[in-house]
Each structure stands twice: as structure tokens, then as C-alpha cells.
Amino acid sequence: MLDPREIYDVDVDVAERLDAEAQRGAGPVMLHALRGFVDAGHAGQVAVDHLLGVGTGERLVTFDADQLVDYRSRRPAMTFDSGWTHYDAPQLVVDLLEDAQGVPYLLLHGVEPDVHWERWAAAVRQVVERFDVPLVVGVHGIPMGVPHTRPVSVTAHATRAELVADHTSFFGTVQVPGSAAALLELRLGESGHDAMGFAVHVPHYLAQSPFPAAGLAGLRHVERATGLDLGLSALEPAAAEAMREVERQVDGSTEVSAVVQALEEQYDAFTRSVGRTSLLAQATDLPTAEEIGAELERFLAEQTGAGDEGDAPL
């Protein structure tokens, strides 16, 4: 593997301020959401846009996109106005932000690397170790056969079972296409660092449309995992407005209403079968995690096309 230190630069001034802050306590947690992999409902991007919008960040790390991006597989946009006037250069960066209480944290965002995944993961690990990051947390959306009228649930995963002990595991062993973010979590765990992530369950018929409720749900789980105050009240109006628009479109289409009603019936049947009124609710005398996982796998297998992010949005 080529030297990971050659694919990123660290802003010295910002690093010095962060070092001074770290001397007064633990290092900052790192959040991440990358563009390019599955992100149903734009959950990860909604989260990033919110975090960048509620505070002023400082650029701490800049990765060299020229070494990581395959421009011909996803060509950057350029603006022509009697000549070339703008180039939308791809970025992959780490920003230093503060939460609503002034607590610093890091946000890794931008395009997913096309190449040099191992080298990039090693570079991020160097940043984690350089700034004593105690926990790395990712957020993205996955399409599921669930209705928008039920609570937004997540699949939580981590490098240690203790990090997700409060989350029910609904899946057994599965094999899925890899991502740079997933590889990062795996490699951080192998090197002894704590990392976790939340895959937000987004109704498959909304997979290609921005669904702020998904980003909001993901960030609520991030708050509980990290103790950060991410100012989520600022995102709630957008989530409520988007939900009203979805309801309006559903009410205006008999066909879509029938699909949603069928998903509601299937969702409610499943939650009753495992003794819960919600995938988020806690209850006593629940089946074992293995029994729940087997039941959900059977349930999802009955959903035709539920996992296809290519399904058309409303």
C-alpha cells in the first residue's frame, strides 16, 4: 500500500487549536456521511447539510481528490457561459465543528473514494489517532419495505457489541456490496478503535427523494450515542413539511395509497408477531435476537422489490 500520508493535508492552525482544546479533555468524536454509495432518502446528505448549516466549520483535513476519484465514472459538473466559467471540483474533507453547547466534533464528508480504499481508510485512521478521536459514527439511508406512516427505525452496527447493546438486531448474516465507509468501520475496529453506524430505514418508494425525517432520525441516534447537541429542532420543520407533502401525494393517488396501506398492514403484522407495537418500542418478554432476526428475514423476503433503490419515488 502506498503511503497514506500522501493523500491528505492538515491545516496546521486549526490542528493547533484543536490540540489545545483536547488538552482540556477527551478528543472530538468524528461523524461521517459520504456521497456515492446507497443513501436512500438522502439521509446522510440531509444530516451533513444540517450540520454544516447550523454552525460555522473550519477545514481541518483535505484529501487529494485527484488520487481518489475516477472522474470518468462520475464526471464533475462544469458551467458553460460563452466559455467555461466554473468547475464543481469533488471534495472529500474533514471539518471541525461545534455542537449547540460549544463541544467540538469532526465531520468527514464529501465523495466516496473510487480507488485506494485501504489507503484512504489508513489515512482516516491516522487522523483518528492524531486527534485522539474516541468514537467514529456514520449515517446513511437504506431502502426498506416500510411505510412512511410508522416510526423511522434504523439498523445499528459497531465494532463492539457493547456500542449497540440498546439496539435490536433485525438481521442475521448477509452479504452486501461493500463501501468505503463500511471498510473504514471494519479497519478501525481491527486496529482497536471504536466505530459504529446507523443505517436509516427509508420507505422504498421514497428512496430517491430527499426525506428529511430519515436524516433527522439518524442524527437523533447520533446524539444518543455521542452526547452531542446537534440542534435538531432546526431540522424538524423541514421534516414535517416534507411529510405533509408526502401525505398530500399519497392522498391524491389511489394506487400509491393502496401500496402504503399494504405496507402498513405488513408492518403491523410483523410488529405484532414479535410482540411490539413499533420497531422502536421497548417491551418485556421479547423473543431472542435470533428469533427476531429470522422472523424479519422471512418478512422481508415477502416484499417484492422492497430493497431496490431504483424504485420510482412518489
**What is the per-residue pLDDT across 281-297, written as a single tens digit (0 to 9) for each?**
343 343 444 544 454 45
Average pLDDT along the chain: 87
**Tens digit of pLDDT for each residue in 55-99?**
888 999 999 999 999 999 989 999 999 999 999 999 999 999 999
State which residues form the domain around 127: 4-242
pTM: 0.84
Beta bridge partners of 196: 137, 158
* CATH number of the domain residue 60 falls in: 3.40.50.10900
Tell me what percent of the chain is helix, strand and coil, each rounded to the nearest 5: 40, 20, 40
Cα–Cα distance for residue pair 143/307, rounded to 1 Å = 5
**Tens digit of pLDDT for each residue in 209-243?**
999 999 999 999 999 999 999 999 999 999 999 99
In a domain? residue 203? yes
In a domain? residue 48? yes
**Tens digit of pLDDT for each residue in 152-167?**
999 999 999 999 988 8
Query: Does the structure show a pLDDT above 70 at 183?
Result: yes
DSSP for 39-105 reads -GGGHHHHHHHHHHHSS--EEEEEE-HHHH--TTTSPPPEEESSSEEEE----EEEEEEE-TTS-EE
**Tens digit of pLDDT for each residue in 113-139?**
999 999 999 999 999 999 999 999 999
**Based on the structure, what is the number of domains in the chain?**
1
Res 253: pLDDT: 85
146: which residues sit within 8 A by CB, 6+ positions away?
153, 201, 202, 203, 263, 267
Say which residue the cell 462520475 belongs to: 74
In a domain? residue 190? yes
Beta bridge partners of 81: none
Neighbours of 196 (CB within 10 A): 23
In a domain? residue 189? yes
Radius of gyration over alpha carbons of the chain, in Å? 20
Say which residue the cell 408492518 belongs to: 267
In a domain? residue 187? yes
Q: Is-contact 218 31, C-beta < 8 A?
A: no
Q: Is-contact 201 153, C-beta < 8 A?
A: yes
In a domain? residue 301? no
In a domain? residue 299? no
In a domain? residue 277? no
